[in-house]
Amino acid sequence: MGLKTIKGPAIFLAQFVGEKAPFNNLENMCKWAAALGYKGIQIPTWASELIDLKKAATSKTYCSELKGMVESHGLKITELSTHLQGQLVAVHPAYDLMFDGFAPKEVQKNPKARQKWAVQQLKYAAKASKNLGLKAHVTFSGALIWQTVYPWPQRPAGLVDEAFKELAKRWTPILNEFDKAGTDLCYEIHPGEDLHDGLTFERFLKAVKNHKRCHILYDPSHFILQQLDYLQFIDFYHERIKMFHVKDAEFNPTGKAGVYGGYADWVDRPGRFRSLGDGQIDFKSIFSKLSQYGFNGWAVMEWECCIKSPEQGAREGAPFIQKHIIEVTKRAFDDFAGGVDKNMIKKVIGL
C-alpha cells in the first residue's frame, strides 16, 4: 500500500453530548469542535440530537444537507458509530437488564424484539454511510460468552466454537448490507465484547468466512488494560485496521489489584483511561507504524478520563493529535546519492 499521511485531528462526539450548549445539537458541536482545531467529527447515531439515523438511511437530501452543514464549519464527517446498537445484536441473558437502557422503551424487556431493532439499526447505518459517502463504520460485536472469559468453572468443550458460529450467523447479513453500501464495518476490539483481542477477532473472521467488510477499529487503551502488546497488534492486523481511536490509558498494578481491578471505581483501578498525553500509551510508535503500513483513515480522539474534565481533554486533544500526525515522505532520504547506471550495477555484482 505504501506510506500514507493519517487524516486528522478528529473527535468522537459521544462523550460530549448534553443538554446545554454547545453540546445540545450537531451545529453547535461543529462550531465548538472547529474552534478547538478539529478537522473531523465521528457521530454517535444513537444521539438523536445529532442525527436521525432512519432518515439518513432513506433520504439523500437529508444527508446532503447534514454533510453540507458540517462542511460549512470546515469539518468532515469521518464515520458514524453504532456502538450501543451493535452491543444489542448479541446479549447474554445475564446482561439483559443492564443493556435494556441502550434500546427504546418499546423493545425493552423483550430480548428478541430488542435484537431485531438493533439489526435494523445497523442496516440503516450501512445505508446512511453510503448516502454520506463514508467508507468505514464502527460498532461493537456484542457478546454471548463474555461471562465465561475466565474459565472457572471450566468452559464446556465446543462452547466457544458454537458461540462464534452464532455470532457470525447474526452478523453476516449485516456485513452483507455494508458490502452493498461499499463501507467497511469496523469492530472496536473491546473488553465486554466477544471480540476483545486478536485471537477472538481471528475466530470471528474465520466464522464469517473472511468477509471482505469485516475490519477493526484500533484503540490501544483497551489493550494496555489487558496487558496485550498494542504495537505488535498493528504488525499482525494492519491489513484489517480501518479506523483508529486515539485514547490514552495506564496500567499500574499493586499488591492489592491487577487486571480485574477489584471492583474499584475507575480512579482507583490499576488500569484506567486517561486524557491524551497523561497515560502510558506510546503514540509516537503507533502513528509511525500506522503510517508505515499505509493506514488511510482518521485519527479520532475518544475522550475518557477518570481525572481530567472533558472540556480540557478536548482542548488538549487536537494539538496532541496534530503533533503526532506524520507527513510521510515522498522520496527516500538518500535519493541525492542515487542515479541508475546499469553498467556500474553489473560491475558491482561482478558481471
- Tell me the CATH number at 106: 3.20.20.150
Does residue 256 lie within any of the structural domains? yes
Confidence at residue 341, expressed as pLDDT on a 0 to 100 scale:
83
CA distances from 237 to 110, 218, 241, 290 (A): 37, 10, 6, 11
Question: Stretch 2-6: mean pLDDT, rounded?
Answer: 93
Does residue 14 lie within any of the structural domains? yes
d(CA 109, CA 107): 7
d(CA 252, CA 278): 13
- 246: DSSP letter: E
Domain total for the chain? 1
Does residue 161 lie within any of the structural domains? yes
Cβ–Cβ under 8 Å, residues 3 and 294: yes
pTM assigned to the model: 0.95
First-last CA distance in the chain: 34
Please report where in the chains the cell 475466530 appears, as a residue.
Answer: 203
Percent of the chain with pLDDT over 90: 93
Q: What sign does the dihedral 6-22-63-211 (CA atoms) show?
A: positive
**Cα–chain-centroid distance for residue 211?**
18
Domain of residue 224, residue span? 7-348
Does residue 251 lie within any of the structural domains? yes
Confidence at residue 329, expressed as pLDDT on a 0 to 100 scale:
87
- Residue 334: pLDDT band by 50, 70, 90 thresholds? low
Identity (one letter) of the amino acid at 304?
A: E
Does residue 103 lie within any of the structural domains? yes
d(CA 325, CA 12): 17
Does residue 1 lie within any of the structural domains? no
| Helix ranges (DSSP H) in the chain | 26-35, 53-58, 60-71, 83-87, 96-99, 111-132, 159-181, 198-207, 221-224, 230-237, 283-292, 310-324, 342-348
**pLDDT of 43 above 70:** yes
- HSE of 7 in the Cβ direction (CA atoms, 13 Å)? 16
For residue range 80-130, list pLDDT tens digits in order. 999 999 999 999 999 999 999 999 999 999 999 999 999 999 999 999 999
Question: Stretch 312-331: mean pLDDT, rounded?
Answer: 95
Does residue 2 lie within any of the structural domains? no
Please report where in the chains the cell 471505581 appears, as a residue.
Answer: 265
Percent of the chain with pLDDT over 70: 97
Cβ–Cβ under 8 Å, residues 200 and 233: no
**CB neighbour burial string for 227-265, b if at least 16 within 10 angstroms, e if fewer:** ebebeebbeebbebbbbbbbbbbbbeeeeebeeebeeee
